[in-house]
Structure 1
Amino acid sequence: MYKIIVTSHGKLAEGIVESLSYFMPNHKVEYISLDQNGIEDFKNRAAELLAAQQEEVPLLVFTDLFNGSPFNVFAQLLPKSGLTYDIVAGVSLPVLMEAALQQEFAAIENVLQTLKNVRTTVIYSEELLQLSESNEDE
C-alpha cells in the first residue's frame, strides 16, 4: 500500500488526475500544481501536503519533468520529511493508471518495476502499429 501524489507545472497534474477519474472514479490520487502564485507558494503547499501524510504509508510522487521546479521542490522536501518515498519523473496516464490500480495491495518497491514495463510498452506501441500495418499490406 502506498499514497500517490502527482505534481506539475500548470494544470497538467490536475488534468491527468481528472482523466484518471474517467477510468477509476474512486481513485485515491492527490495532485499539486505549480501555478501563477509562484515557487514559494508551491513550496509551502508541498510542505503542508507532505506534513499531512502518514509516516507508515510510503509515498509515490509523479512529476512532469526531471529536474523541473516541482521535481526539485519534492526532491528537497522529501528527504527531510521522514517519509518513505520514490519520485518518478515523466508522468503519463498509462503509468499513473497502473500505479493507482496497484495502490491498495502492492508494495511500492514491487510496483516500480511494473511501471518501468508500462513505460516500455508505451514507447514501443508505435513500433507495434507499424508492424501491424506492414502485416496488413502483405
Structure 2
Amino acid sequence: MIDYIVTSHGNFAEGIKNSSFMIFGEQKNVEAVVLHPNESPEELNSKFQEALAKFDKDDQVIFLVDLFGGSPFNAASQIVAEHTDRMALITGLNLSMLVEAYTVREQPLDQVVPHLEETAKAGVRHLEIKDSQEG
C-alpha cells in the first residue's frame, strides 16, 4: 500500500486532507505536513521525518506537494532523492488528485505517479456558459 504525505505552505495540507476524508472516508497512512511562517527548512525536514516514522520502514511513499520549487517541495525532494526506489513526489496538489490517490494505493508506484499527475490536470476545468441571447 502506498502511504501519502500531503504538504503545503500554511494549513492547506490539513484542510485538503480533512476534505478528502469527508468525501472518501478516513484513510490510514496519510499525514499532513505544513510549513508555517518563520519555520526553517530544518524544522520542516524534522516534520517530514516524524511523518515518515509513522509508516512502515519499507512502505512506498508519495509526497503530494502544493507548489513546485517552494520550501515543502525542496525539503521533500531531498528525501525522495535518497529513496527513489520507494518514494516519489508530485506537485500541483488538488482535491481531485488526493481523492483519486486513495483509489490506487495498491498499484505499483511507477504507475500511480503518472496517473495522479493526469488526474490533477483533469481536475482543472472551465465551466463555459453559452449566452442564451445570441441572435
TM-score range, shorter chain: 0.7 to 0.9
Distance 1:108 1:81, change over 3 A: closer
Contact 2:80–2:89 (CA<8 Å) still a contact in 1? no
Task: Tell me the number of residue pairs that the alignment of Structure 1 and Structure 2 aligns.
Answer: 132
* Mapped partners of 2:113, 2:18: distance in 1: 23
- The 3 A distance-change label for structure 1 pair 113 and 36 is closer
Superposed CA offset, 1:15-61 (max 9, x none): 00011111122223211111246123222121232344324321111
Q: 1:117 to 1:45 in 2, by over 3 A?
A: closer
Provide structure 1 residue ranges, at least 5 long, that are not aligned to the other structure. Answer: none
Write out aligned runs for 1:26-37 (5 A).
Answer: 26-28=26-28, 29-36=30-37
TM-score with structure 1 setting the length: 0.81
Question: Identical aligned pairs, as a percentage?
Answer: 30
Root-mean-square deviation (Å): 2.4
| In 2, Cα distance between equivalents of 1:93 and 1:137 | 35
Report the counterpart of residue 91 of structure 2 in structure 1.
Answer: 89
Q: Closer, same or farther in 2 for the Cα pair 1:118/1:53, shift >3 Å?
A: same
TM-score (structure 2 length as normaliser) = 0.82
1:60 aligns with 2:56: no
Counterparts of 2:4 and 2:37 in 1: how far apart (Å)? 24
Q: Could you say which residue in structure 2 is the equivalent of 1:10?
A: 10
Q: Which runs of 4+ in 1 moved over 4 A?
A: 135-138
Alpha-carbon distance between aligned partners in 1 of 2:87 and 2:133, rounded to the nearest angstrom? 48
Partner AA of 1:76 in structure 2? Q
Q: Which residue of 2 aligns with 1:98?
A: 100
Relative to structure 1, the CA distance from residue 52 to residue 122 in structure 2 (aligned partners, 3 Å threshold; closer, same or farther) is: closer
Query: What's the secondary structure of 1:65's corresponding residue?
Result: coil
Partner residue in 2 for 1:38:
39
Unpaired runs of 5+ residues, structure 2, are: none
Residue aligning to 1:117: 118
Kindly provide the CA deviation profile for residues 71-111 of structure 1, in whole angstroms up to 9, marking residues without a partner as x: 101111233357611100110000111011222x2222222
* Matched residue type, 2:111: N
